[in-house]
Structures are given as C-alpha cells and as structure tokens.
C-alpha cells in the first residue's frame, strides 16, 4: 500500500480501489469507476478507443516514437540509440525483450555507469512467450515491438527521480502531449520481476488498453529472497505500437502499425476488405481473445456473431485468413531484425527460434495459398522499416539469401515428411489409436521440423484425428527462449583459497616473458601451487593452459595445468613441492606458448576474413586453439565451398603479410561498447567492469583475455586444412599456423606426388587423369550393372523353365553359396515378371544363411504369403523373417540346417496351395 501512496495521486484527485472482478488495486479519478478498466480475460473492460481515439491527433509509429523521445529529451533525458535485438552482452538471454535489458546487469548492479542519467530510448524487442496469441488478439500480443523507456539510476549519493516524478512524466505525456483526458488514465498496482531484479510497478490503462508499465526496481532476486539494491532504477516500458494504435483507433494494432504493407499482403492473399463494423467489434473485445482461455475467447466470438446477425462459423470463416495475415506481417518483421543481426536459422539456441518463425510463417502462407510470396513479403518489410533502421537495407542480400536457403530446406522437409507421417499414422491406426498423441507432435517438430498443421493435414487422410494444442508454438518456443548461462568452473578448493590476494598476471604486462620469479603463497594437497604472480596463462577462451617448470632451491616442479578460481590462479604440478614462502623461478615451454599465441591471433584474423567473404551474419560459435591444429566454428547457413575456403585463406594470409600491429588495451566496458559496438563479444560474453580489447586495426576487434602476437607477420603462414559442418548452421574451420601450416602444405604435396606416381602421370596432370579414371570407372560400373541385369534375366528364364508345378502354382527352390543376395533378388524379380504364377525361395549361404522369398501376383491369389514362408524357413535356421506378402527376407546362423529349411519352405507352399 505505502509503495503506491504517491503525492501525485493525492494532488490529482486519484482514489485507490480494488477491482471486484480481477482482484487488483487501481487508482482512478472517476468516483463511480468500479472495475480496474483493463480489457483482460476477466472482462474488466472492453477497448473503448476503437473508432473513438482519445488523442488530439492520429500518429504513425514513427511519429509516436519521435513524440515520446522528444518529450523526454526536452525534460533533461539524453536520447540513446537502440541496442541490438540480439543480446550478445548477456549470457542468460538470446534476445532483448525490454529496454532495461540494455543496462542489465552491469549498470543496474553498479559495475558501470549508464550511458546517460537520465536517458530515453526506443528499443526494438523480441518476445516469443505469446507467439500463439499473435494475430488472434488483434495486436495485443506481438513477437516484435518497440519499448519506449525513460530510465533514471538513483545512487545513494545522487537522486535523479523516483516513483512520483515517473508517474508525473507519464501523465504529462499522455494528457498534455497526446491530449488524452486525464480521467481516462487509470493506474493499476502490480509487482514486476525480471533479469534478476524486481520492484513495485504501476500499469497505465487508457480506455481498456494497457499502455505502459512503470517499474521501480529496487530489489535483487537471490533465490527466494529480495535483497535491496544500492541503485534504485526507474524502469519504464511504453508500448510504442500500443500508443500508435490508441491514437488511430483502428480495429487492430496491425492496421495502425503496418498500414499499407498489411493491405498489400491482404490483396496478395485475395482477402476482400472485411466488414469494418464486424472487425471493430472484435477489436473492442480483443482483450478476451487470448488462446489460453478458450471458453472466454469462444464466448466473445459468439457474442460478436450474435450482435452482427451472423453464424459463428461464418464469422470464423471471415476471421481466420485475416488473423493469418496479421501473424505473417508480425513474423516477417521479426525475421528481418533477427537475420539482419546475424542469427542463422538452425536447431540450436537463437537459431531455433528463427527457424520456428520462418516455418510458422511459411505454413500460414501455405494455408493462404501464397507461400511463393514469402520472399516478396520479407523484401517489402525491409523497404518499410529500413527508413528507421538502415542496417536492414544494408543486410538485405544476406537476409534474402538466408531465407531462401531456409525455405528450400523446409520444402524438402515437407516432401520427406509426408511419407514419414503416413507411416506413423498408419502404425497408430493399426495399434488402435484414433488420435495423434500430442507428445509425438512436439517430437516431430523438434526432430524433423514438421509443423503440427502439416501432421493434421496428412493424418486426416489416413483417418486419424489430430488435436493441435492452442499453445503449441508458445510451449515449443519457451523451451528455447532462455540461454543456458555459461557456468564458470567451480572453485576446486574454495575454502583453501579464501583470503588469498589476486594473482598478478605477468603475461599481460609482457606477452613475451619466458621466465619470471615469484613467491609461493600456498600449496594445496601437495599438487596445487598459488603464486603471488605468474606468467603461466590459465586455460580460458578456447586457449589451453601454459606448461613449463618451477625451479627452487635445487628442486624442480613440472607445471601440467593452470586454472583460474575466482581471482586466484592455481598451478597443478608434478615433481618436487616448493615450500610456502619460498621464491621460485618459472620457465615457460616457450615453443608451445608461442604456437598458441600465433594460433589465437590467427583465429581473430580468420573470423575477419570469413565475415568479409561470407557476410556480416558470420559470428564465432566456438574455438579451440592448439599447438599444431586449431579450430574455429562460425555461423553460416550452408556448407563452405572450395572457392570460399580459398578466399578466406588468401585474405587471412594477406593480413599476415601486411604485418599489422596487434594492440591490446584495457577499457571500461561502456567505453569499449561505445567505440567498437557489440562485435566485441564475438567470442562470447566477457565479465568485468573493465575489459581487455584485442585490436587488429581495420580488420578485427574483440574483447579477449588470451595471449597474442605483437604483429600479424609473426604468425608466418595460415593454412586451412579441413572444414566440416558440425551442426545445422555452424561450419568448422580447422587450420594450422607457422611451421605446422608449412608441414600441412608439404603433406598435401606429398600426397599429390604419391597419387601422380600411382597414376603414372606428372603431378600437373593428376586432375585430368583422375577425371578420366573416374569416367572410365563409372562406365565400367554401368557396364557391369548391365551385364548383371542380363545375367539375372537369363537365370530367371532358366529357373522359370525348371520350376515345378505344385497344384495351381509353379515353384522354384534353391540354395546358393557365396552369391550376393542383391543379385538373387534381381533374379527373383525378373522371374515373376515372366511368370506371375511363380514362387521362388532362395537360401544364400556364407557365414550365415539368408532367406529370400518372392511371390508373383497370381501366386499370391493362391494363398501364398512371402512373410509366413520367410519367417518359418528362417526359424529353422535360428532366426526370423519379415516383409510384404509378395516379398520377404529372413535369416539365421544355423547353416548346417539349410536343407531342412528348404524342405520346410516346400512343405509350407504345399499346405498353403492345398488349403485354397
């Protein structure tokens, strides 16, 4: 209660009430206001602004964004450029879903200062928690939206503004800037939690529409407890799209935001202009249309149908294609923002969500019969939004190329998936199921990329019902929204290192330091040594730990591993144990360290080359530096071609030849981000108030803690020895540097010479000779196959003539030794073509016995079943058989019983035809 007792409310005549329907407390100037006024699933209100906008004038989204930013600029807030929608500075999130995400955790926990205080920003955000509601709720839910935030960070020694002034700013913006009547503005109490922080909040509601959430972030969430933060943050979220919708009073938010683009998609889909009155009434009730409360949603639609004198089915028929177009316009906008920032569609992490959006969009367009327009619609979106976000235009070609590749993949998935679904449906039907299990729907989507709508379409033809959960895509998305936070290695011996000072890292002072002296602070378990300073690099960032020796008082220890625990570096040793307090001399295995330095610098060079050859969508997905062989994993949407590999390698070696300086500088995090942007986090999130930046001028800049060469020429040579696709959307580049690169090149040359000797030609002619050899081999295989087919036909004719009559069928049974089963199957197939009233039973003997049974179409009518004959015959051989009525196979290991098995087959044939 006290959290919400603001002077503003008292001055402006607001009274606090409790909504009898939803149970929430709210503040209103209207004495007769009984309900909270929010259009929600409880039915506390309808949207009263549809066709009756309360603002002074109508705003486009661009105009509303500018009105918001300018309003707060005039009131002392500095305008900040929006951050990326891909939250690469966070290790717990994939996407920016609120403006405060830009400043968590480093600003909100006091590690770094904000870029301005106070500040204002309009931040594009992505959210997938309500993906199934996008479209059906007329824009109340979106996957992509702009959150306007005015933020103030209040320190113990500096108060900017807090709750009362925040509400005053909001009220002034809504009433004076936009012209909304003050009595129409309701403030609803609540509590907000997210990103590890929490605090009381008030939501602003105008004519049923929640417009903004004003959060007063004062707690840090630690387990189940709320711990007061030293910094109290004003965290506001103004829905720019919602303010735009309010100002225009259109039936849906999509019409207000997308306008002509929406109309264009509607025309392409052949959807006639809907009855504005019907659409407006649905818009008024769209607060009741959330899928999670189906009964409420259905009742709302029934109500509209009744009011409009329509049947519910007729209303649904009009509405469904419109909802699909709404969803498509939202999803395709999300796509261009994701793909423009380098998200490669895949089955992992953020790429999974991009793929989900693409496939859902394609499926909806397929249902509208305009799936061939998917690339056109995305292109229209780029044109529409690039005026405000120019990077979309810059990335147009890459966006379109990635999308085309992904759509083609999905088409192939659908083609292959049809037969799979039919098999599953038939199997389920045969086992007594009348419905497709819901868990199998998710399994088919996750494992094969087949959407539930496609499953329903195909399964229904097999007589199997499919009920698609209303929240299917939401539940699938929720499992992939949160990033798996990188967990730092747990302190191996946390108690023993408590109280020890931070280890001085000498390798940062002098990257070429080979020997050093230090003092032993502690020895743990006789194998872990803590020094006051060290030049041994601990494992981290894909770079293995240094190795070497420690010398002391005639003793010697071998350093086998180096790890960081907190701010202390542990050296795992073998050999003599240095006494605590003694001086030691550390000596690095310099050849090993130097190779790692060259490999690490080469990694930065190669990622820069890959980005220039393949496109800006390329990001590092992982890396491991080695002495002889290193690897770099990059995001890319298809296999690397030989030409691309060569270009990457050439560009990388051009940088080596240029002998560019490799600078390492320490910068405050906020300054580094301001100067270099978020490409800094190429190798992942780097913790700390101050970060180390490794810069190859004009080529690559990354936040990196590894050891590097002083100049690129020190690498000597970079050789890409192999590439492979390690997972969908990720290519691995394996490379060597320096003398090891030379060795790899020499090994390849030796192999070429060896091949030339085998072919008996000079090295320069091996390609030509190999091509000739391949063609000759292909022709030889074709001729062998032709001869094999001729021989099979000849044998088939022979066996047909030799077959004996058993009542109404002809039968041929024979055993073979060391004859390939494939050849026998060919003979059998040819034989039944000649005589469809024939049955053949072959047993091929090698180390085991293989049974082949082929029944002609006419013989089948006489009661013969290849499955029964194969199974019974194989049982004599100690095995089993299966197949189809006309063709079956089996086998077993009891080769001494082959004659008995063949006799068994004959007996079954006789009994089968005699029983007809």
Percentage above 70 pLDDT, the chain: 96
Q: Which residues contact 255 (CB under 8 A, 6 or more apart)?
A: 248, 262
Higher pLDDT, 703 or 130: 703
pLDDT at 485: 47
* Number of Cβ atoms within 10 Å of the Cβ of 125: 22
Poorest-pLDDT segment among 254-258, 269-273, 850-854:
269-273
Q: Which residues contact 623 (CB under 8 A, 6 or more apart)?
A: 541, 542, 603, 630, 631, 632, 633, 683
Q: Which residues contact 697 (CB under 8 A, 6 or more apart)?
A: 660, 661, 663
Task: Report how far residue 884's alpha carbon sits from residue 854's, in angstroms, rounded to the nearest whole number.
Answer: 9
Alpha carbon 755 to its chain centroid, in Å, reads 43
Task: Report how far residue 231's alpha carbon sits from residue 15's, in angstroms, rounded to the nearest whole number.
Answer: 30
Nearest-CA neighbor of 117 among 147, 148, 155, 84?
155
pLDDT at 211: 96
pLDDT digits (tens, 9 = 90+) for 419-447: 777 777 777 777 777 777 777 777 777 66
Helices (H), 810-865: 821-834, 857-860
Q: Count how many Cα atoms sit within 13 Å of the Cα of residue 902 in the half-sphere of its side chain.
A: 18
Task: Report how far residue 827's alpha carbon sits from residue 841's, in angstroms, rounded to the nearest whole number.
Answer: 11
Q: How many residues does the chain have?
A: 916
* Structure-token pair, residue 840: 């053949």
User: In 566-681, at which residue ranges do the beta strands (DSSP E only) sit?
Assistant: 568-575, 583-588, 620-624, 630-635, 662-668
Whether the predicted pLDDT of 826 surpasses 60: yes
* Number of Cβ atoms within 10 Å of the Cβ of 915: 8
CB-based contact 856:864 (threshold 8 Å): no
Task: Report how far residue 513's alpha carbon sits from residue 603's, in angstroms, rounded to the nearest whole number.
Answer: 22
Alpha carbon 785 to its chain centroid, in Å, reads 46
Categorize the per-residue pLDDT at 479 as very low, low, confident or very high, splitting at 50, 70 and 90.
low
Q: Which residues contact 668 (CB under 8 A, 6 or more apart)?
A: 112, 689, 690
Nearest-CA neighbor of 94 among 672, 485, 389, 471?
485
* Number of Cβ atoms within 10 Å of the Cβ of 302: 12
Whether the predicted pLDDT of 491 surpasses 50: no
Read off the pLDDT of each residue in 592-601 and give the average, rounded to a whole number: 94
Categorize the per-residue pLDDT at 489 as very low, low, confident or very high, splitting at 50, 70 and 90.
very low
Read off the pLDDT of each residue in 95-111 and give the average, rounded to a whole number: 86
pLDDT digits (tens, 9 = 90+) for 328-350: 999 999 999 999 998 889 878 88
Q: Tell me the pTM.
A: 0.79
Read off the pLDDT of each residue in 621-643 and give the average, rounded to a whole number: 91
Whether the predicted pLDDT of 194 surpasses 80: no
* Structure-token pair, residue 187: 């403030």
pLDDT at 538: 94
Whether the predicted pLDDT of 578 surpasses 90: yes
Categorize the per-residue pLDDT at 40 as very low, low, confident or very high, splitting at 50, 70 and 90.
confident
Given the structure tokens 């800094």, which residue do they identify? Answer: 680
Whether the predicted pLDDT of 75 surpasses 80: yes
Read off the pLDDT of each residue in 774-778 and give the average, rounded to a whole number: 81
DSSP state of 531: E
pLDDT, the chain, mean: 88
CB-based contact 317:124 (threshold 8 Å): no
3-state secondary structure of 779: helix
Categorize the per-residue pLDDT at 487 as very low, low, confident or very high, splitting at 50, 70 and 90.
very low
Task: Report how far residue 43's alpha carbon sits from residue 41's, in angstroms, rounded to the nearest whole number.
Answer: 5
Read off the pLDDT of each residue in 849-866 and give the average, rounded to a whole number: 90
Helices (H), 74-225: 163-172
pLDDT at 915: 62
Whether the predicted pLDDT of 684 surpasses 70: yes
Produce one character per residue of 443-476: b if its CB has 16 or more CB atoms within 10 Å, e if not: ebbeeebbbbbbbbbbbeebebebebebbbbbeb
DSSP state of 142: -
From residue 231, give the alpha-carbon distance in Å to each of 5, 80, 107, 235, 671. 21, 20, 9, 12, 21
Whether the predicted pLDDT of 888 surpasses 50: yes
pLDDT at 280: 87
pLDDT at 19: 95
Higher pLDDT, 652 or 220: 652
Read off the pLDDT of each residue in 560-572 and give the average, rounded to a whole number: 92
3-state secondary structure of 198: strand
Query: 230 phi and psi, to 5 degrees?
Result: -70, -25
Query: 342 phi and psi, to 5 degrees?
Result: 90, 15
* CA angle (324, 328, 333) in 5-degree steps: 155
């Amino acid at each position: 209660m006290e959290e919400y007792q603001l002077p503003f409310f008292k001055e402006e005549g607001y009274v606090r009430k409790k909504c009898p329907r939803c149970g929430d407390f709210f503040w209103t100037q209207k004495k007769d206001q009984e309900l909270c006024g929010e259009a929600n699933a409880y039915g506390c209100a309808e949207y009263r602004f549809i066709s009756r906008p309360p603002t002074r004038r109508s705003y486009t989204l661009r105009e509303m964004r500018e009105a918001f930013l300018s309003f707060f600029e005039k009131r002392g807030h500095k305008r900040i450029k929006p951050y990326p929608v891909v939250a690469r500075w966070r290790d717990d999130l994939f996407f920016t879903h609120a403006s405060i995400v830009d400043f968590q955790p480093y600003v909100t926990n006091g590690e770094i200062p904000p870029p301005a205080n106070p500040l204002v920003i309009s931040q594009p955000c992505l959210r997938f928690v309500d993906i199934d509601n996008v479209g059906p709720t007329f824009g109340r839910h979106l996957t992509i939206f702009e959150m306007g935030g005015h933020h103030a960070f209040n320190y113990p020694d500096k108060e900017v503004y807090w709750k009362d002034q925040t509400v005053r700013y909001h009220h002034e913006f809504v009433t004076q800037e936009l012209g909304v009547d003050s009595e129409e503005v309701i403030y609803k109490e609540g509590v907000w939690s997210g990103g590890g922080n929490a605090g009381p909040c008030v939501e602003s509601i105008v004519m049923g529409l929640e417009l903004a959430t004003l959060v007063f972030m004062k707690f840090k969430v630690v387990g189940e407890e709320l711990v007061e933060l030293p910094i109290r943050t004003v965290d506001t979220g103004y829905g720019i799209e919602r303010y735009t919708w309010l100002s225009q009073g259109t039936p849906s938010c999509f019409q207000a935001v997308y306008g002509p683009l929406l109309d264009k998609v509607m025309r392409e889909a052949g959807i006639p202009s809907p009855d504005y009155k019907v659409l407006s009434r649905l818009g008024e009730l769209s607060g009741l249309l959330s899928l999670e409360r189906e009964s409420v949603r259905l009742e709302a639609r029934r109500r509209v149908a009744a009011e409009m004198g329509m049947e519910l089915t007729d209303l649904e028929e009009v509405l469904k294609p419109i909802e699909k177009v709404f969803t498509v316009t939202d999803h395709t906008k999300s796509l261009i923002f994701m793909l423009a920032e380098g998200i490669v569609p895949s089955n992992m992490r953020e790429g999974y969500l991009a793929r989900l959006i693409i496939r859902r969009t394609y499926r909806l367009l397929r249902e509208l019969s305009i799936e061939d327009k998917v690339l056109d619609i995305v292109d229209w979106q780029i044109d529409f939004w690039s005026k405000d976000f120019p990077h979309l235009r810059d990335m147009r070609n890459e966006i379109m190329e990635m999308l085309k590749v992904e759509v083609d993949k999905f088409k192939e998935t659908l083609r292959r998936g049809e037969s799979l679904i039919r098999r599953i449906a038939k199997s389920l039907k045969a086992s007594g199921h009348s419905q497709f299990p819901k868990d199998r729907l998710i399994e088919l989507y996750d494992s094969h990329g087949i959407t539930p709508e496609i499953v329903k379409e195909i399964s229904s033809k097999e007589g199997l019902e499919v009920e698609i959960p209303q929240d299917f895509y939401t539940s699938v998305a929720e499992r992939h929204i949160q990033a798996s936070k990188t967990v730092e290695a747990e302190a191996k011996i946390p108690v023993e290192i408590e109280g020890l000072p931070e280890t001085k890292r000498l390798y940062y002072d002098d990257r070429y330091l080979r020997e050093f002296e230090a003092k032993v602070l502690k020895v743990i378990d006789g194998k872990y040594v803590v020094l006051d300073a060290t030049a041994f690099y601990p494992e981290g960032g894909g770079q293995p730990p240094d190795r070497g020796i420690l010398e002391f008082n005639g003793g010697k220890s071998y350093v086998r591993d180096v790890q960081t625990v907190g701010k202390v570096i542990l050296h795992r040793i073998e050999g003599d144990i240095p006494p605590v307090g003694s001086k030691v001399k550390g000596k690095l295995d310099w050849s090993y360290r130097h190779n790692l330095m060259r490999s690490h610098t080469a990694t930065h060079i190669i990622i820069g080359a890959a980005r220039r050859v393949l496109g800006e969508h390329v990001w590092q997905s992982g890396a491991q530096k080695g002495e002889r062989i290193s690897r770099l994993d990059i995001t890319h949407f298809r296999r690397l071609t030989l030409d691309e590999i060569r270009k990457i390698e050439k560009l990388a070696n051009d940088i080596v030849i240029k002998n560019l300086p490799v600078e390492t500088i320490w910068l405050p995090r906020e300054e580094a981000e301001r100067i270099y942007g978020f490409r800094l986090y190429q190798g992942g999130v780097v913790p700390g108030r101050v970060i180390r930046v490794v810069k190859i001028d004009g080529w690559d800049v990354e936040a990196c803690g590894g050891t590097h060469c002083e100049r690129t020429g020190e690498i000597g040579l970079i050789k890409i020895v192999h590439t492979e696709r390690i997972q969908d959307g990720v290519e691995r580049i394996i490379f060597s540097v320096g003398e090891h690169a030379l060795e790899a090149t020499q090994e390849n040359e030796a192999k070429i010479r060896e091949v030339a000797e085998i072919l008996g030609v000079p090295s320069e002619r091996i390609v030509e000779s190999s091509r000739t050899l391949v063609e000759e081999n292909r022709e030889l295989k074709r001729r062998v196959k032709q001869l094999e087919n001729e021989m099979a036909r000849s044998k088939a004719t022979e066996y047909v003539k030799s077959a004996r009559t058993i009542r109404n069928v002809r039968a041929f049974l024979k055993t073979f030794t060391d004859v390939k089963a494939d050849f026998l199957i060919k003979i059998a197939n040819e034989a039944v073509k000649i005589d469809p009233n024939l049955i053949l039973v072959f047993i091929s003997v090698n180390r085991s016995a293989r049974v082949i049974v082929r029944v002609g179409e006419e013989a089948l009518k006489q009661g013969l079943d290849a499955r029964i004959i194969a199974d019974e015959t194989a049982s004599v051989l100690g095995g089993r058989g299966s197949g189809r009525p006309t063709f079956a196979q089996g086998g077993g290991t009891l080769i001494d019983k082959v004659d008995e098995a063949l006799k068994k087959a004959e007996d079954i044939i006789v009994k089968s035809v005699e029983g007809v």
